[in-house]
C-alpha cells in the first residue's frame, strides 16, 4: 500500500464507481469490513509513514508557499538536492506550505529517523552545504539558525510551541499549514482529514449540521461577521432543486494574505468545509472564486479537487450516501469589488462584477437565480474542526459574541511578519508586541491598520482593545478579512488615507453615485492637503483646500449612508478613523505645512549638508530635474524651485549628506 486508495487485500473494494461508506474511517482504523492482522499492519504502517513517524532515511521539509518561494526556497531546494547527491545521501525531500513565520523564510525542517522534527530558519543557498553537513552527516544541531522542535524539545532545543511567536497563538485553522504535504490527500487523511465529513454522513442529518454550526456561534470571517449558521439555515429552508455553495477566495484586500496561505498550505481543509456546507444546505454544485494573482493557490486547489474526485470524495454518490457534489474553480479577473457577494455572483455569471441591491439575498436568489451560500476561505476552514470536536468546544473559545479564533496577516513595520492565529478577545497589544515582536529599529509604534480599505487606523490609546467583531467596530475599525498592517513613526496618516482612497476610488465599480463620485471628491480633498501651492501663488487653490476640509466629514457620512454595497459604505473609514485619532497630524499638514513623518513630498525641502557632502556627483546624475548643481569635489547645492521632491538623491547619496525636513 502506497496510498489509501490502494486496497489492503482483495476484500477491500472501494472505488469511485463502487464506493464504500466506511472508506475514511478505514483509512485510519482499518480494516473494518474484515479482520486480518496483515491488513491492519499495512494500514498502520502507511499511517505512520504519512505522519512521518517511521522512516529509514532523513526527511527534509522545505517551506514552499509563495512567501518561501519569494525568499528563494526553490534555489534552496535545488541546492539541497545537489548537495545530497554529491554526498551520496538518501533522503526524502518534502515541499510543504507556510508555517506562518514568513519573516524567517526560507524555513527548512529536518527529521532524522527516530529523532524529532527540528525547524531551521533563514536557510540560504550558500548555507546549504554547511547545514546538510551539520544536521544530516554529523547528526547535530545547526544552532546558528535553530528555530525549534516540532516535538517536546529539550534544554538545547526549544519546543516551537514555547517560542514567543507561537506561544500565544492558538492554531485551529492553520494547524496543518507548514506541516502536511499540501498536494497529498493521503497526508491530509492521515492527520484526521475528512473525519468530519465521515461523521456527518453517518451520524448527522443536514438539519443537525446546520444546528451544530448555529450552536457553535461561528461568524463569517470575510469581514462583516454574519453568523454562518444563520446563513446556512436560510439556504437549507429554501425549496429548490438546485442550490450552490461558493467559496470566496477573492482576497482583494491589500495587506491580507490569509486565504492565499491557507489555500496553498492546506487546500483539502477548505474543500472539506465546502462539502459539509453543501451537504447541510442540499447543494450539489460549488464554485471556488479565487484571485488570478494567486497562481500557486489555484494550482493546489486544482490538484486537491482532482484527488478528491479520484478518491470518491467529490462527484456522484459520494461514499455511497447518494449525496452528489461537483466543485469548479473560477479565476477572478482582478476587481476588488468582486469580494462583495452579489458582485462575485455576477462575475461568475460572466458579467461585470457589480453588486445589486439586497434583498433578495443570495440565500434566496443567488447564482443563476438559485439559492446560494457564499462563505470565506477561513470560514470554511473552521467547519471540520467544529464538526469533529463539537459546537460546545468551539463556543468555549473566544468572547461572548465572537467565537473561535481569527487569522491575521501581520505586515508592515513589525519584526515578525507572517500569519498568526489568535483566540478572539486577545488584545491588539498582545498581537503587536508579544507575537509580532514589536517595531523594528527601535522606532515608535504609531498605529495599526486593521480591516484593509474598509477598516481604520488604531493608535496607541486604544491598543488594549480586544480582537472581536464588536470591540473593533466600537473603536472605528472593523475585523475585515484580517489584514494587520503595523505603522511606525515614519508612516504618515494623511498619506495612508490618500493611499486607501486612491485604491477605493479606482476599484469603485461605478454603479452608484455616492461611491463613484463621492470617493473621487474625497480623494481630491485629501490629495490637496499635502499639496504645496507656494510656487504657483494660487490662492484659490488654497481656499479650495480649506473648503474641502470643512466638507470632508459631511461627505464621508453621506457616502457611508447612501452607498449600495459594503465597499462604498465602508470607504470613508480610513479617513474618519484618521480624523478621529490623528487630528493633530491633519492639522499639522494644513496649518504648519509640515509632515513630521517625512512622507508627503510636496511639503519637504531637500538641502545638502556641506560638512558631509564629498562632491562625488552621484546625486547630480540621479536627479531627473537637474535641480542639483555643484563642482566635482565640492559640496553641492539643491535648487529648490527646480526640485520635484522625488527623493532619488537621498536614496543615491552614500554619505547621508542630504537632509530632508
**Nearer to another protein among residue 19 and residue 578 (C-beta):** 578
**Nearer to another protein among residue 385 and residue 497 (C-beta):** 497
Query: Which residues sit at the interface with another protein, rule CB under 8 A?
Result: 64, 66-67, 69-71, 74, 77, 95, 102-103, 105, 251-257, 260, 291-296, 299, 330-336, 347-353, 368, 409-413, 417-419, 449, 452, 483, 485, 487, 491, 496, 499-500, 503, 507, 509, 624, 646-648, 651
151 near 114, Cβ under 8 Å? no
Residues in the chain: 661
CB of 70 to another protein, least distance (A): 3
**Strands 456-459 and 445-450, sheet pairing:** antiparallel
Helices and strands: H and E segment counts in the chain: 26, 18
CB of 145 to another protein, least distance (A): 18
CB of 100 to another protein, least distance (A): 9
Question: In which order are the strands placed within the sheet that holds 445-450?
Answer: 418-423, 405-412, 483-488, 445-450, 456-459
CB of 418 to another protein, least distance (A): 5
CB of 77 to another protein, least distance (A): 8
Among residues 447, 461, 425, which one has the least CA distance to residue 578? 447
| Local structure of 179: helix, strand or coil | coil
CB of 249 to another protein, least distance (A): 11
**Nearer to another protein among residue 189 and residue 283 (C-beta):** 283
**Nearer to another protein among residue 313 and residue 486 (C-beta):** 486
**Nearer to another protein among residue 146 and residue 652 (C-beta):** 652
Task: Map 197-250 to HEC letters.
Answer: HHHHHHHCCHHHHHHHHHHHCCECCCCCCCEHHHHHHHHHHCCCCCCEEEEEEC
DSSP H or E stretch at residue 193: none
CB of 643 to another protein, least distance (A): 14
CB of 64 to another protein, least distance (A): 8
Task: Map 4-27 to HEC letters.
Answer: CCCCCCCCCCCCCCCCCCCHHHHH
3-state percent helix, strand, coil for the chain, nearest multiple of 5: 45, 15, 40
**Nearer to another protein among residue 105 and residue 588 (C-beta):** 105
| Local structure of 557: helix, strand or coil | helix
Cα–Cα dist 400/467, whole Å? 12
185 near 312, Cβ under 8 Å? no
**Nearer to another protein among residue 592 and residue 651 (C-beta):** 651
CB of 411 to another protein, least distance (A): 4
**Nearer to another protein among residue 57 and residue 292 (C-beta):** 292
**Nearer to another protein among residue 229 and residue 353 (C-beta):** 353
CB neighbours (10 Å) of residue 313?
Answer: 26
CB of 292 to another protein, least distance (A): 6
**Nearer to another protein among residue 279 and residue 294 (C-beta):** 294
What residues form DSSP beta bridges with 411?
A: 485
Among residues 221, 264, 252, which one has the least CA distance to residue 102? 264
Amino acid at each position: 500500500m502506497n496510498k489509501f486508495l490502494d486496497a489492503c487485500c482483495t476484500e477491500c473494494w472501494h472505488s469511485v464507481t463502487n464506493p464504500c461508506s466506511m472508506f475514511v474511517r478505514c483509512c485510519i482504523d482499518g480494516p473494518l469490513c474484515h479482520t486480518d492482522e496483515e491488513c491492519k499492519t499495512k494500514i498502520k504502517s502507511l499511517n505512520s509513514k504519512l505522519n512521518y513517524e517511521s522512516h529509514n532515511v532523513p526527511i527534509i521539509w522545505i517551506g514552499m508557499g509563495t512567501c518561501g518561494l519569494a525568499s528563494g526556497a526553490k534555489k534552496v531546494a535545488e541546492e539541497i538536492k545537489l548537495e545530497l547527491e554529491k554526498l551520496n545521501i538518501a533522503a526524502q525531500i518534502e515541499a510543504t506550505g507556510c508555517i506562518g513565520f514568513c519573516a524567517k523564510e526560507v524555513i527548512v525542517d529536518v527529521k532524522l529517523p527516530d529523532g524529532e522534527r527540528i525547524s531551521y530558519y533563514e536557510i540560504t543557498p550558500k548555507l546549504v552545504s554547511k547545514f546538510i553537513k551539520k544536521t544530516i552527516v554529523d547528526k547535530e544541531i545547526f544552532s546558528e539558525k535553530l528555530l525549534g522542535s516540532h516535538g517536546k524539545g529539550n534544554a538545547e532545543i526549544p519546543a516551537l510551541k514555547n517560542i514567543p511567536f507561537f506561544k500565544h497563538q492558538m492554531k485551529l485553522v492553520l494547524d496543518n499549514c507548514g506541516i502536511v504535504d499540501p498536494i497529498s490527500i493521503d497526508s491530509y487523511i492521515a492527520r484526521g482529514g475528512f473525519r468530519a465529513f465521515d461523521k456527518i454522513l453517518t451520524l448527522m442529518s443536514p438539519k443537525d449540521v446546520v444546528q451544530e454550526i448555529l450552536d457553535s456561534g461561528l461568524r463569517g470571517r470575510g469581514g462583516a461577521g454574519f453568523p454562518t449558521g444563520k446563513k446556512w439555515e436560510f439556504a437549507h429552508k429554501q425549496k429548490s432543486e438546485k442550490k450552490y455553495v461558493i467559496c470566496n477566495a477573492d482576497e482583494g484586500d491589500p495587506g491580507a494574505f490569509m486565504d492565499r496561505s491557507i489555500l496553498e498550505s492546506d487546500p483539502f481543509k477548505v474543500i472539506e468545509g465546502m462539502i459539509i456546507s453543501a451537504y447541510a444546505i442540499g447543494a450539489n454544485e460549488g464554485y471556488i472564486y479565487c484571485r488570478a494573482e494567486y497562481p500557486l493557490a489555484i494550482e493546489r486547489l486544482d490538484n486537491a479537487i482532482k484527488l478528491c474526485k479520484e478518491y470518491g470524495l467529490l462527484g456522484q454518490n459520494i461514499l455511497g450516501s447518494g449525496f452528489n457534489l461537483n466543485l469548479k474553480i473560477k479565476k477572478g479577473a482582478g476587481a476588488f469589488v468582486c469580494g462583495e457577494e452579489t458582485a462575485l455572483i455576477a462575475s461568475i455569471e460572466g458579467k461585470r462584477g457589480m453588486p445589486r441591491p439586497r434583498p433578495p439575498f443570495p440565500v434566496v436568489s443567488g447564482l443563476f437565480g438559485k439559492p446560494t451560500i457564499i462563505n470565506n476561505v477561513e470560514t470554511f476552514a473552521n467547519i471540520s474542526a467544529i464538526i469533529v470536536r463539537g459546537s460546545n468546544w468551539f463556543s468555549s473559545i473566544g468572547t461572548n459574541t465572537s467565537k473561535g479564533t481569527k487569522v491575521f496577516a501581520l505586515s508592515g513595520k513589525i519584526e515578525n511578519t507572517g500569519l498568526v492565529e489568535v483566540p478572539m478577545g486577545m488584545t491588539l497589544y498582545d498581537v503587536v508586541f508579544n507575537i509580532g515582536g514589536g517595531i523594528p529599529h527601535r522606532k515608535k509604534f504609531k498605529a495599526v491598520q486593521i480591516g484593509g480599505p474598509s477598516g481604520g487606523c488604531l493608535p496607541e490609546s486604544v491598543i488594549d482593545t480586544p480582537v472581536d467583531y464588536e470591540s473593533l467596530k466600537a473603536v472605528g475599525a472593523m475585523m475585515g478579512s484580517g489584514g494587520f498592517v503595523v505603522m511606525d513613526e515614519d508612516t504618515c496618516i494623511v498619506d495612508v488615507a490618500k493611499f486607501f482612497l486612491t485604491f477605493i476610488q479606482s476599484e469603485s465599480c461605478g454603479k452608484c453615485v455616492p461611491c463613484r463620485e463621492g470617493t473621487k471628491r474625497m480623494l481630491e480633498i485629501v490629495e490637496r492637503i499635502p499639496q504645496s501651492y507656494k510656487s504657483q501663488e494660487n490662492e484659490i487653490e488654497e481656499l479650495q483646500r480649506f473648503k474641502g476640509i470643512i466638507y470632508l466629514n459631511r461627505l464621508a457620512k453621506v457616502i457611508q449612508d447612501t452607498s449600495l454595497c459594503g465597499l462604498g459604505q465602508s470607504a470613508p473609514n480610513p479617513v474618519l478613523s484618521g480624523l478621529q485619532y490623528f487630528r493633530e497630524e491633519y492639522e499639522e499638514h494644513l496649518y504648519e505645512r509640515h509632515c513630521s513623518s517625512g512622507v508627503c513630498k510636496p511639503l519637504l525641502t531637500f538641502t545638502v549638508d556641506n560638512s558631509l557632502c564629498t562632491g562625488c556627483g552621484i546625486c547630480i546624475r540621479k536627479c531627473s530635474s537637474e535641480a542639483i548643481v555643484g563642482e566635482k569635489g565640492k559640496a553641492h547645492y539643491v535648487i529648490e524651485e527646480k526640485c520635484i521632491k522625488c527623493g532619488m538623491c537621498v536614496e543615491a547619496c552614500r554619505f547621508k549628506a542630504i537632509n530632508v525636513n
